[in-house]
């Protein structure tokens, strides 16, 4: 992992498109289950109440970073936000059993079990696109490992270039964003802690 001096990170809002019917009611149901108002959930997730309202009514589709933030707020996983049925607990995740999901150009597959304190994903990061400039700040930790390609990671004011085989582990309260260096994109293993709310309580999921 090679630091590049002088890097900066500036955030822009992500691009949204009409949402599938199944996502919006699930977002609304999980917020109600968590006992949060629209304003409380939006503030914790780093969104405006109007934006969250549009996600819940199906007028907009959440990007992957938004799904990750909302999953932490509601104490669930991205799969849970998408309404997927929780699988029977199994310590082994077979490569052919986790279908690919796409959000705003990013493609991701489940790489860890449900009902855990961490979520693991296999992610394809495309080159370019609105998420390259989306800065995230939230409680917890993140770990990533580059399987293929080169990744540009911004942490605060620092910029790092990660090559194949490189990893990064950081406190996600540090403003961060990432993007692929080359047009072919980058493949990552990505692990993050699941948080129920701003109190940073770990969510262990159903059946624990």
Distance CA 56, CA 28 (A): 5
Q: Which two tokens stand for residue 77?
A: 């996983």
Which residues, including other chains, have CB under 8 Å from residue 146's CB and lie 6 or more apart?
Answer: 162, 163, 164, 165, 166, 167, 186, 187, 188
Nearest to 104 by CA among 127, 130, 80, 78: 130
- Chain centroid to CA 47: how far? 14
Q: How far is residue 161's CA from residue 151's CA, in Å, rounded to a whole number?
A: 6
Cβ atoms of 110 and 121 within 8 Å: the answer is yes
Per-residue pLDDT of the chain (208 residues; tens, 9 = 90+): 444 433 333 333 334 433 445 688 888 888 888 888 999 999 888 889 999 999 999 888 888 788 888 888 887 877 777 766 555 556 776 776 667 777 777 887 877 766 667 788 899 998 886 666 678 887 788 999 999 999 999 999 999 999 999 999 999 889 998 899 999 999 999 998 865 433 233 222 333 2
The DSSP 8-state label assigned to residue 94 in this structure reads -
Tell me if the pTM is above 0.85.
Answer: no
């Amino acid at each position: 992992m090679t630091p590049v001096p002088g890097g900066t990170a500036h955030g822009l809002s992500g691009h949204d498109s009409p949402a599938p019917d199944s996502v919006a009611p699930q977002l609304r149901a999980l917020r109600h289950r968590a006992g949060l108002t629209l304003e409380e959930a939006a503030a914790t997730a780093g969104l405006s109440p109007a934006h969250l309202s549009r996600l819940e009514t199906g007028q907009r589709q959440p990007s992957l970073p938004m799904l990750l933030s909302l999953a932490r707020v509601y104490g669930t996983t991205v799969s849970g936000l998408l309404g997927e049925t929780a699988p029977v607990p199994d310590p082994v995740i077979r490569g052919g059993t986790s279908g690919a999901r796409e959000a705003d150009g990013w493609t991701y597959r489940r790489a860890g079990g449900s009902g855990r304190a961490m979520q693991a994903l296999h992610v394809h990061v495309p080159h370019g696109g609105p998420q390259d400039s989306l800065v995230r700040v939230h409680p917890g930790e993140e770990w990533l490992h580059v399987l293929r390609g080169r990744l540009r990671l911004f942490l605060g004011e620092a910029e790092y270039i990660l090559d194949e085989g490189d990893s990064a582990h950081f406190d996600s309260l540090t403003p961060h964003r990432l993007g692929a260096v080359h047009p072919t994109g980058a493949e990552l293993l990505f692990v993050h802690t699941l948080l129920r709310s701003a109190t940073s309580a770990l969510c262990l999921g159903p059946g624990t």
